Every structure is written in structure tokens, then in C-alpha cells.
Amino acid sequence: MVQITLIQPSGASLQLDVPEGWSLMQAAVKNGIDGIVAECGGSCVCATCHVYVQQERFAELPPPGEDELELLDEVKAERRPNSRLSCQIKAAPELNGLIVTIPEYQT
């Protein structure tokens, strides 16, 4: 299991134990986390699973693919340098303890 902390726009945080290989989106949806809409179910076409990754650890993530980069232009909340789509972030041991913040809105 990989421990990931999700922070809501309100500041409330929740720590999830995410099975290795699951996306952060899958874990958030499975746990009923508000703010991760994931309309496309992880097919990388909806941009409603946007998150802000902890700045200090952003470079530890595998880089986004072309599809994700293009789709990040479609996110509804502000796109920031640490924006990623949570369906494209797979839980891996090296990400243990990662903190991601959910934007104010997704649609």
C-alpha cells in the first residue's frame, strides 16, 4: 500500500492507503472523495480528475504523456505548474507519503 494524502479545498485532509498500481483517481473514487469527478473513468479524456501535486515532490512523478499534457489545458480550475490528472498518477512505493490537493471545482 502507498500512503497518499488528499487535501480538500477547505483544508480538510484524508490519508488513503492506495494499492500499488492503482491510480490516485481510482483510490479517490473508491473512497468517495468529494472533488474528484472522473467523468471518463480514467480514459484521459475528461480532465475532471485534476489535482495539484505537492510542489517539492512534483519531479518524482513520471512525466505526463502527450494526452495528459493536452488535456491539462482543459481543466476548469486554474492550471498550475504542479497540475496533474490523478487518473494518470499510479501509486508506487516511491510516492509513499505524497500529498495532493483537490482544486475548488472540476466542471
**Contacts with ligand FES, residue ranges (CB under 6 A):** 25, 38-40, 42, 44-49, 71, 85, 87
User: Smallest distance from the beta carbon of 58 to ligand FES, in angstroms?
Assistant: 18
Q: What is the Cα–Cα distance from 80 to 94, expressed in whole angstroms? A: 23
Are 38 and 48 contacting, i.e. CB atoms less than 8 angstroms apart?
Answer: yes
User: Smallest distance from the beta carbon of 57 to ligand FES, in angstroms?
Assistant: 20
User: Smallest distance from the beta carbon of 38 to ligand FES, in angstroms?
Assistant: 4
Pick 42 or 64: Cβ nearer ligand FES = 42
Supply 71's cell numbers: 488535456
Pick 56 or 104: Cβ nearer ligand FES = 104
Report phi then psi at 68, rounded to 5.
Answer: -65, -45
Q: Which residue in the shown chain puts its C-beta closest to ligand FES?
A: 87
Pick 11 or 32: Cβ nearer ligand FES = 32
Pick 11 or 104: Cβ nearer ligand FES = 104
DSSP string computed for 27-84: HHHHTT-TT---TTSSSSSS--SEEEE-GGGGGGSPPP-HHHHHHGGG-SSPP-TTEE
